[in-house]
């Protein structure tokens, strides 16, 4: 990275420490501050909250290949009530969860995720009851390091289990969660600079943050197809997986069958939004072919004991639609 970008990132660290001192001075602890925050689920299109959310989102995602336009979010949220989508690719549930200070209007953090429950005939074959793709977590740069991102990650895990349990009737649903992370080895120098200057975190630090929270890289040539006819494929991301529950994951490899079905739904619906013809898309067809030639795909595990993941956090309650839930605890994080 260029010296100016490194300087910005160092200054960001100093600002985070200063903000942390102010929060402790006013609230006594990070834990007390977190109880003053509320979570609000957006799962319907044309929500007035989308504009507030998008202001935070576009500041954190400057690269054209990976930045979704506001209309794209609106389109995918509409899938929740689209009978044709639900029949062919469901049960599918899309949500954006935002974080605000109680009584405030400014969105200080957000997470976007898609839950895909598997029908009964698939569950026996795939060995999972459902899956989730976590599209992103973003936090206002002045409130990083407080634990908001980690609390959101816990919240998503709780929501995924609840949604899949409701759709399938499984008391303890077997699920896995994926996310995409930028790989600086495959990024241009300009892309690295642009990403780091906007996010104020280098890609390697971002990878470390997710690895600490139980996400490990899947060892295959992953590419995200274009988000629309006007986007290019995103070729510099890797796919990471976290498996809270599921008998078909030994920490070293994962069966490819549930992964192929997961990617089919994710690519056709949430990525291409049925506006990109995935039946002819070279990224999807190549990955489907490569994965179907394998029984399992290797997982590059981080040097991390999953049993100790986020042990200082309590599980968050499941928030009702468009209503608030309180964040109850925090730890330190870099996001």
Condensed to tens digits (0 to 9), the pLDDT of residues 104-133 reads 889 999 999 999 999 888 998 999 999 999
Count how many Cα atoms sit within 13 Å of the Cα of residue 112 in the half-sphere of its side chain: 20
- Of 280, 188, 177, 263, nearest to 220 (Cα)? 263
Q: How far is CA 11 from CA 4, 14, 200, 282, in A?
A: 10, 5, 9, 42
Could you say which DSSP state residue 184 is in? G
Q: What is the mean pLDDT of the chain?
A: 83
pLDDT given at position 307: 35
Quickly state the pLDDT bin for 327 (edges 50, 70, 90). low
pLDDT in tens, 255-278: 999 999 999 999 998 888 888 889
Which percentage of the chain shows pLDDT scores above 90? 49
pLDDT in tens, 156-192: 999 999 999 999 999 999 999 999 999 988 988 888 8
Give the C-alpha separation, 73 to 82, whole Å. 15
State phi, psi for 318 to the nearest 5 degrees: -80, 125
Give the C-alpha separation, 334 to 157, whole Å. 19
pLDDT given at position 318: 36
Which percentage of the chain shows pLDDT scores above 70? 87
Give the C-alpha separation, 109 to 98, whole Å. 6
Give the C-alpha separation, 215 to 213, whole Å. 6
Element (H, E) at 38: strand 37-42
Tokens of 55: 């202001």
Count how many Cα atoms sit within 13 Å of the Cα of residue 293 in the half-sphere of its side chain: 6
Task: Report whether pLDDT(96) > 80.
Answer: yes
pLDDT in tens, 304-316: 333 333 322 233 3
Partnered with residue 299 across adjacent β-strands are: 218
Q: How far separated are the first and last CA of the chain, in Å rounded? A: 19
């Amino acid at each position: 990275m260029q010296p100016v970008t490194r300087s910005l990132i160092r200054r960001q660290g100093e600002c985070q420490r200063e903000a942390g001192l102010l929060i402790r001075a006013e609230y006594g602890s990070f834990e007390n501050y977190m109880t003053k925050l509320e979570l609000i689920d957006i799962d319907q299109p044309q929500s007035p909250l989308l504009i507030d959310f998008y202001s935070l989102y576009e500041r954190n995602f400057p690269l054209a290949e990976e930045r979704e336009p506001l209309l794209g979010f609106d389109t995918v949220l509409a899938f929740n009530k689209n009978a044709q989508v639900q029949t062919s690719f469901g049960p599918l549930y899309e949500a954006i969860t935002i974080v605000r200070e109680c009584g405030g209007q400014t969105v200080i953090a957000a997470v976007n995720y898609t839950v895909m429950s598997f029908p009964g005939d698939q569950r026996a074959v795939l060995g999972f009851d459902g899956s989730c793709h976590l599209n992103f977590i973003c936090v206002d740069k002045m409130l990083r390091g407080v634990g908001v991102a980690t609390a959101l990650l816990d919240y998503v895990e709780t929501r995924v289990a609840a949604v899949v349990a409701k759709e399938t009737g499984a008391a303890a649903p077997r699920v896995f969660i994926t996310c995409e992370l930028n790989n600086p080895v495959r990024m241009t120098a300009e892309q690295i600079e642009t990403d780091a200057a906007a996010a104020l975190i280098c890609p390697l630090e971002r990878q470390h943050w997710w690895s600490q929270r139980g996400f490990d890289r899947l060892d295959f040539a992953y590419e995200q197809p274009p988000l629309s006819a006007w986007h290019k494929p995103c070729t510099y991301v890797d796919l990471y997986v976290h498996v809270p529950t599921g008998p078909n994951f030994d920490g070293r490899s994962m069966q490819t069958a549930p992964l192929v079905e997961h990617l089919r739904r994710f690519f056709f619906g949430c990525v291409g939004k049925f506006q990109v013809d995935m039946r002819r898309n070279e990224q999807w067809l190549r990955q489907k072919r490569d994965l179907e030639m394998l029984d399992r795909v290797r997982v590059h595990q981080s040097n991390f004991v999953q049993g100790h993941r986020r042990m200082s956090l309590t599980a968050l309650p499941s928030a009702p639609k468009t209503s608030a839930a309180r964040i109850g605890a925090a730890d330190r994080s870099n996001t």
